[in-house]
Copies of this chain bind each other. A is one copy, B any other.
Amino acid sequence: MVDPRVYEVMSKPIVSHLDPFLFEVMAEISAWLKPVFGTANEFTLAVSGTGTAGMEAAVSNFVEPGSKFAVFTNGYFCDRIAEMGRRHGANTVELKAEWGNVYDPDQARDFIKREKPNVVAFVHAETSTGAFNDPGPICEAAREVGAFVIADCVTSLGTMPINLDAVGIDCAYSGTQKGLGAPPGLSPITVSPKAMEWIKNRKSVNPSWYFDFNLLSGYFGTTRRYHHTAPITMFYALREALALLHDEGLEPRLERHRRNQRAFVAGAEAMGLKMRVAAPHRLMALNTPEVPEGIDDLKARKHMLNNYNIEISGGLGSLLGKVFRIGVMGVSSTKENVLLVLETLEEALREQGYKAPASGKAAAEKTYA
């Protein structure tokens, strides 16, 4: 869901792409994004495309033909990162883990030390599985071999702490439509000064002109050199979504997500559903309970959509038909929504003969007491 305040600013008159007012909006976006990413990076802005555009911007700026690119692949979106690396001519190596699982820290460290990549990429919060990949061991080993680290934070930005600078991530990107609660259309992104210095001096030219960070820093930076006509309305929306986050406070916002996630899990488990991801590695914004034996997940999802206008997602790839993907994020992360989704999911499963050992709604309600 999107907050009414965000919808409201989207019908405000547009200004030109070089209007001082737009640069004020962009400056506020940059200032408000930094604490959410946990960074002081000057290059903190929004790319004029959706989350995948941010991914392509990151890969195309960091990866050159012949680069060694090490990607942690345990879900749909890291597969996409690896594919982009190959398209940019990188020698792309992958450490695979089962979808829904995470890496053993030692295994992660060994992989990086053995491969000695130029660039490492991982998905901080894997939207396709609900798993959180700990950046600690990855960044530590990358530092040792002198590799840059890219993190996909599409589902973690604004829902979980990122602590970019403290952990040592060089580049992170996200979308506007997950934890920030704006419509899709921009990709918040941030790059460390050290990485920007490297990008400025890299030998091969980025095949992408649209996503070239050197050109983008001319437009968004102090020179304000025309690069492209930014989607003005989306900048209004992102600014307002960040203002809402700023009003709530980052810590209360993250705590709200934690509280509602805890309630959801208590409810799902009380209903007899097994969470696909082990407790320490779960996301705060997206839950992946397994589909019980004998249940048709599509039928259950349609029941919720058609009767209650609640849209939950199914599994992707190797998790197709095996998990539900239930987002509880941004504006939508509320007690009311958690209880409603549990109640309607229980009904949808009951329709197919599933007998829950206990009420999910009641169990969730207790956690708020």
Listed in ascending order, the chain A residues whose CB lies under 8 Å from chain B are 2, 7-8, 10-14, 16-17, 19, 48-53, 55-56, 60, 80, 83-84, 86-89, 175, 177, 183-185, 205-210, 227-234, 237, 311
Contact = CB atoms under 8 A, between A and B. Distances in A.
Contacts of A183: 14, 231-233
11 contacts: A10-B11, A17-B184, A49-B210, A52-B229, A53-B210, A56-B210, A60-B208, A184-B229, A185-B233, A208-B208, A233-B234
> How many copies of this chain does one complex carry?
2
A329 to B, nearest CB: 14
A50 B205 contact: no
B11 A209 contact: no
Q: Determine chain A's interface SS by DSSP, over half rule.
A: loop
Nearest to A232: B183
Contacts of A205: 86-87
Q: Which 4 A-B pairs have the closest CB atoms?
A: A185-B231, A52-B228, A7-B11, A11-B11
A50 B185 CA distance: 11
Contacts of A7: 11-13
Contacts of A8: 11
A135 B56 CA distance: 33
A256 to B, nearest CB: 22
A205 B207 CA distance: 13
B87 A234 contact: no
B84 A52 contact: no
A230 B158 CA distance: 21
Nearest to A83: B209
